[in-house]
Structure formats: structure tokens, C-alpha cells
Structure 1
Amino acid sequence: MKASQIKFILVSIFYLPIGTQCWAQDQKTTSNEPKTLKVGSTAPHIDAEFCFRKNEVNSLKIEQYNRDTIYVVEFWATWCPPCIAAMPLMEDIQNEFADRGVQLISLSNESREKLDEFLAKEVPGISGKTYLDIAEVYAIACDPDQSVYKEYMAASGNFSIPKIFIIGKDGRVEWIGEHGGLRSTLEEILTGRWDRAGFARKYEVKQDVSLAIRRMSEFRQKHAEDPDVVIAEIDKELAKIGPVDEPLIQILRGFRIQTLVNCGRFDEADRSIREGFTNASGNLEAVGILASILPQLPEIEKIDRKSIVELAVSELENASPTETLSHAMQELNISMESQLKLQEARLYVWAGLVRRAEEAAELARRLAVGTSTESIAEAYFQEVQKIRDNREAGR
């Protein structure tokens, strides 16, 4: 991976209880790009090469935002399960708010060929309806040169999708977030109850952490041969940010743990993992992020994987989701209990406890029946069975 690209080891957190996002893959952005887009900033123009709308394919250019329209700009991808799961929700929101001057635009940085292939597929659970039919309701566009991505995602320090930006009637960014908060925020904006300045103050902490993650992702690549330098730089970033109630800080701590393991400092890595769970205790998003790091680590004997996983599972089961997270899971028809069991199954596989992994995956599969993640839970159950068979056969 090039230093100028972002591709986190944590490929997806869609399967975790912490929510509904994927890490963006191979984005050609660099950490020295200034933080130019904040809540309250003037929204950048949109220039997308192709836009699928009402059985037509045209370019999409917005150089001047309509003062009578509130724009919802979503960044997504066809490889991102939560993005796909949210498409019917986006369709519902567009239908609900269309008469109130709201326009949804969904942007992928993939090629037109990729989108053509994807949009022709049927929406699961809705016989005869394709994703192209959803494009009848709101604009689905592609941005293969990543120009719009750079102006919005990179400039605001964001690296996970789906990500949504609301642009108000004054042409400024009102809100940045995910699907769970979209409907309620639109309602507040439309009824004059939205506190943009208050949200901007809260969001600034998340943005600072996100930018630090981006910087450290690149720094680790550039200094991969000098782990001590990497660890020292991560420590500086953590000290600079200070104690914050922001779950994404666990990604920085995860970078540190991964580096400690890679350079053989196993005792320190073990302590850092345990301290991380202690610090995150009770916060499901923070615990979930830290737990997601463990299966990315090597299955080494110098770390007591079994006791660490028992700690992780205990913390996952005892932590509480935020109201925002619970609402998001409900909106997207995702079973919280199923996601927890999927995460536990992955942890058990990492610890070598394959039978327990199989039990957790089986329960996750049953809990996911009728939800938007049913096929994902089924696929992982099949994967665990293959792992079991291979290990029993000594492969």
C-alpha cells in the first residue's frame, strides 16, 4: 500500500455492535491536506461524471446550490454492506421529505461499469425491484476521479463510509453523520430547531481524532521499519488529543497495539489491550472498536489470547449502546444481538476456540433471520464451519 493511500487493517466494522460503517479503501488522500471543511463551512461544488436518475444517465454538476433546497450528500460504495442496507431507508427518506425541499444525492467513487452491474441487482426481500429502481427516487452518481470525495471526505477528515453531509439552504454544511441521525436532523433543520453551532462544537472533537488517525495511518506506512518511532509518534498524538469521550480514539490505540505486536513487545501489547478495555468499559462503540482489532493480530502464543477474549466478550455483553446507535440499528433493520454474537465468534476464532466460535456464529445466524444482515450472518457461519473442518483435518 502506498503511503498516500488509506486502507486500514480494520476493513469493516459493519459486523460489529459499534454500528454501520466501512473503512474507505485506497483513497488517494494525504494527511497534509488541510482541514478545510467543517460544520458551518461553505459546501463545495459537486461535479460527478455519471448520475443515474429516472432511467437516464447524465453528468451531475452543482455549482450553485438552490436556496430553496436542502441537499443530503451521501458517500457510499457497492462493496460496503451498510451502504447497501441503507438504500431502502434513503429511498423512504427522499419520499418523505421531497415535498419539503430535500434532495438526496448518493456518490460512489467507483466506475460507471461497477455501478451498472450493481444497480441491475434485485433488492433483497423485494421481488422484482432492482437498485436501479431506487435511482428513480433519488440521484445515484459516481465520482471515479474522486474529486468530490476529496472536497468533502478528505477535507473534513473522514475515512469511513457511509458518510452523509447535509447542506442547508444557505449553502453551508449543517451536519455530518450517518443514517441513524439523518431523519431527525432533517426534521430539526426544517422546523427551525437545529443548533448548527452547538453541533459544530461537538463534532470538532471527532474531526480532530479522525485527522489524527489519518496522519498516523500514513506515518506507520512511511516508518514501518522503525516501530519505536511509530509508537512514540502515536503517543504524542494521544497526549495531544488528551482524554476525550470519542470511541474513534480506540483506532489510534489499536495502531499502537498492532505496532507493539509487530516488533515483538508482547507483554506491553498485552497490557495495552487490557488497559484499553478497562478504559472503554461500558461504552459499546469504544469496546467494539477495540475488540475488532484483536482478530487482526497474529495468533501468537506470547499473548494470552484466551483470557483476553474472555475479557473482550464480557465487556461487549455488559456495555450499553448509545441511543443514536440503537436508533441506527433499528432504522437499518440490523439485530444488535446478532452483531454482538458475530463479533464474539470472530474473537473466539482468533483465540483458537473454534467450537465456541461456531456456537456464537450459529446464534448470530438465527438472530439475523429477517434482518438486513441475514446473508452476512449465514456466510460467516459457513466460514466458521470451514475453519473447524480445516483445523480438525490438521490443515
Structure 2
Amino acid sequence: MTRFFSLPVAWTRKTLLGAACGVAFLTGGVAAQAEPTLTVGSKAPSLDIEHYIHEDLGKFGPVTDFEDGKIYVVEFWATWCGPCIQSMPHLVELQERHRENGVQIVSISDEDLETVEGILERDYPGKEGVTFAELTSAYTLTVDPDGSSTDDYMRAANQNGIPAAFLVGKTGLIEWIGHPMSLDEPLEQVIEGTWDREAFKEEMARQQRLEEAMQKVNRMAGEGNFEDAIKVIDKVLEEFEGVDDEMGQSVREQLTQFKYGLRLDSGDLSEDVMTYFRGQLKEAKGNPQAMAQFSYGLMSSIQQGAKVGKLADETLVALNAEIEGADPQIQPLMHVLVAQMNASLERFDAAIEAQKKAIEKSEGRQKERMEGMLEELEELADVDSTTKKSDDEKEDSSEEGE
């Protein structure tokens, strides 16, 4: 049941999850990588940026080397990256809040200038009358088409996802690397002089070891080698046993969930496994989103061939009970989950009924997609009915022959 596993964005990579996690990834994918040459504690590379979009406004000058006593945020973005666009107002807020503290945010795209200029006069989503140009004029927006800055920072640090930010401290060293939406606390502590660089560096090292272990686990699980995959998880759990911060607690919870999912996928329906998942169901009660997430994980396991016993029926009952109280926007998707789970169990009448409810709750393009899914279910039901009829006829013929 590997789809149950998902670490917070700052602690994992999208390739481990198989699901969107709010981080857009650079082209080329995530391959086996050498040790990073740029990390927390490294001297920040000089910047050689070709185009400064708002240089004429005079708020900030171009940046090459980093001045002693000043603090910089070097952030990487792209026009095609939704999470990057979503982060822009937060960068504005940080720049305005800390301008007097000697903070300069330099945001770099490695696209061509024409591409970036193409969005500047458009209204920023959700801010009618405010263009991208007006919004981003609060900080230093730049374009570096030759990719030299991307090479010096992103690739040197083995960072594959954008947006990504590098916090350069008062002495020109990299203090922090991460998603810009998580920048507030480390930036404030660097300003105040209370930032613990070494502690964060160790946290990043733990994160890297976790990612490497989970890549191995996912590979083993994909090959059906559940026993060895579980052993790897147990070793990681041992490492994080004494880590009492937020990351440690969350990782232990997620790894435990993943471990039980693997046990279920391997066919383990022991009392221990069933008790764990029934506990998860109980915790999700009253939280439609949590119930939908749990149901999706279980449905995925069933579709991959896992035999989940009574847990399927118990989940269907619990999921159906949450639909009416859910946000109207997610009700159609919850009905779809009911339909897909029933279809996975070859209960096509119940699946079709649930899919029709999803259509009733939908409109526009979503309704069209739901109707298409209903047609597919009806086709599957016809095939299933024909197959069963053929099997029955063969059985009757065999009995007559005897």
C-alpha cells in the first residue's frame, strides 16, 4: 500500500510519492547524483546574471559578489512553475518586511527574456488590476538564460525542484536551502544572529539519508520484495527514534504508516495490521479529506492486487458516511472513490450507482469527465457480465457431459 506514504514537501522528492506535492521539477528528472559541491556552510557563488527586470526602478542594484553584513535570498523560479507563481506574494511580503534589515531577494529564471517579459503585463492570478510586473517590483526579478546561476546553485547543490531558495548570510555563506514558503523562520534567525547553521546542516543530512533509503524501499516494493523493504524502513526508524523535533515525529509517523501499507500489500492480514488500519479509519472519521486520502491509498493497493479482506467494506462504509458533510467541491471526487473501489472489487452495480451520484454533484468540464468515467464503468460491467455468462455456460456444458 505504498501510496499511503508521503513526507512533507521539505523533506522528500516528488519521485518518491508519485503525486503532486507543490514542487515543480526541473527537466532531466532525478537520476543518481554525486555528492553536492554546494551545501549549507559553503561560500555562496558569485552571481553573473544577464537581465535585471526591475533595475530601472532603483530599489536594488545588480548583485555580483555578496556584501559583508547584508543578507541575500537567491531564489529560482520559472514562468511554467505554478508553485513559483504562488510563492511570489510571499517573497514580496518578506522583502518589504525585512528591507530595512539589509535583506535583498534575487529571483532568477533561466528562461529567455522574451518568455519572462510575456507574463509581466498579465494580471497576477487572484489580484485583479495588479500585474506580474507590479507585484514583483518589490524584489529583484532577474533572467539568466545561459543557466550559469542554475548550474552554480541548483545543480551544484543537487536541488531538482523549484521554487528553491538559498539563504546567504552576513558572511557570504549559505545558511539555509529550501522552499521559499518555509523561509520566514530561518531568515528571521539569521537576521537576529540566532540561527544554528550546523543543526540545520545535520537536518539536511538526515533528509538526504531518508530520501536515499526511500528510493531503495520504493524500488524493492515495486519488485515485490516487501520483506527487505520493511527491513530498510526499520533501520530508518531506528535512526529517527531519538529525533524529537517536528521532522522526526512526522517521519516516524509516515514511515510507520508506509511499513504497515507494505505489510498489507504483501498479503499480511494479521490482527496487528488490521488493528492499525482500523485505527487510521477511526482517526479519519469526521475529516472528509483524511478519509478520502485513506480510501485512495487502499483503493490503489486493491488495484495493484492486494487482498485487503474486510477492510475494503469497512472503508466503503466510512467513506460513504463522510460524503454529505464534505465540502461540495470534493463530494464528486469522494463518490468517484466509492465507484472506483467498488469497481476494483468487481461490484459494478454499486460502482455505477456511485458514479451517477458523482455526475449529479458535478458541472461543466468536470461533469463531462465524470460521464466519460461512467461509460467506462458500464463497458467494464458488460464485459464482466458476458464473461460470467460464458463461464456459467461452460460449467453447465461440463455438467451435462458428465
TM-score, normalized by the shorter chain, greater than 0.5: yes
Q: How does 1:57-68 map to 2 (within 5 A)?
A: 63-68=64-69
The residue number in structure 1 matching 2:20 is: 12
The residue number in structure 1 matching 2:127 is: 126
Cα distance between partner residues in 2 of 1:292 and 1:142: 44
Root-mean-square deviation (CA, aligned residues, Å) is: 5.2
Is 1:391–2:392 an aligned residue pair?
A: no
Q: Which structure shows the higher strand fraction?
A: 1
**TM-score normalised according to structure 2 size:** 0.59
Aligned match of 2:223 in 222, 227, 232? Answer: 227
Most deviating of 348-357 and 189-198: 348-357
Cα distance between partner residues in 1 of 2:54 and 2:236: 43
Cα distance between partner residues in 1 of 2:112 and 2:207: 30
Cα distance between partner residues in 1 of 2:144 and 2:320: 40
The residue number in structure 1 matching 2:237 is: 242
Cα distance between partner residues in 1 of 2:227 and 2:37: 28
Cα distance between partner residues in 2 of 1:170 and 1:288: 48
By how many angstroms is 1:24 displaced? 1.3
Structure 2 spans left out of the alignment, 5+ residues = 1-13, 241-247, 340-353, 380-402
The residue number in structure 1 matching 2:167 is: 166
Cα distance between partner residues in 2 of 1:174 and 1:242: 28
Q: How does 1:370-389 map to 2 (within 5 A)?
A: 382=364, 384-389=366-371
| Amino acid corresponding to residue 170 of structure 1 in structure 2 | T
Counterpart contact for 2:359–2:371, Cα < 8 Å: no
In structure 2, do the counterparts of structure 1 residues 308 and 107 end up closer, same or farther at CA, with 3 Å as the change threshold?
farther
Most deviating of 78-87 and 346-355: 346-355
Counterpart contact for 1:163–1:177, Cα < 8 Å: yes
Q: How does 1:272-351 map to 2 (within 5 A)?
A: 294=297, 297=300, 300=303, 302-303=305-306, 346=333, 349-351=336-338
By how many angstroms is 1:131 displaced? 0.7
The residue number in structure 2 matching 1:198 is: 199
Aligned length: 328
In structure 2, do the counterparts of structure 1 residues 85 and 28 end up closer, same or farther at CA, with 3 Å as the change threshold?
closer
Cα distance between partner residues in 2 of 1:108 and 1:133: 17
By how many angstroms is 1:121 displaced? 1.8
By how many angstroms is 1:301 displaced? 8.1
3-state SS of 2:303 partner: coil
Counterpart contact for 2:47–2:64, Cα < 8 Å: yes
Q: Looking at CA atoms only, which structure, 1 or 2, has the larger radius of gyration?
A: 2
The residue number in structure 2 matching 1:100 is: 101
CA-to-aligned-CA distance 1:69-103 (integer Å, 9 cap, x gap) = 21112233333333222212211221221222111
Counterpart contact for 1:157–1:210, Cα < 8 Å: no
By how many angstroms is 1:194 displaced? 2.4
Cα distance between partner residues in 2 of 1:308 and 1:68: 57
Counterpart contact for 1:37–1:156, Cα < 8 Å: yes
By how many angstroms is 1:174 displaced? 1.7
By how many angstroms is 1:167 displaced? 0.9
In structure 2, do the counterparts of structure 1 residues 49 and 311 end up closer, same or farther at CA, with 3 Å as the change threshold?
farther
Most deviating of 156-165 and 287-296: 287-296
Cα distance between partner residues in 2 of 1:288 and 1:147: 46
In structure 2, do the counterparts of structure 1 residues 382 and 70 end up closer, same or farther at CA, with 3 Å as the change threshold?
farther
The residue number in structure 2 matching 1:42 is: 43
Structure 1 spans left out of the alignment, 5+ residues = 1-5, 14-20, 316-336, 363-380
The residue number in structure 2 matching 1:84 is: 85
**TM-score normalised according to structure 1 size:** 0.60
By how many angstroms is 1:173 displaced? 1.8
In structure 2, do the counterparts of structure 1 residues 300 and 85 end up closer, same or farther at CA, with 3 Å as the change threshold?
same
In structure 2, do the counterparts of structure 1 residues 143 and 126 end up closer, same or farther at CA, with 3 Å as the change threshold?
same
Counterpart contact for 1:158–1:211, Cα < 8 Å: no
Cα distance between partner residues in 1 of 2:51 and 2:40: 27
State, as a whole percentage, how many aligned pairs show the same letter. Answer: 24
Q: Which structure shows the higher helix fraction?
A: 2
| Amino acid corresponding to residue 227 of structure 1 in structure 2 | E
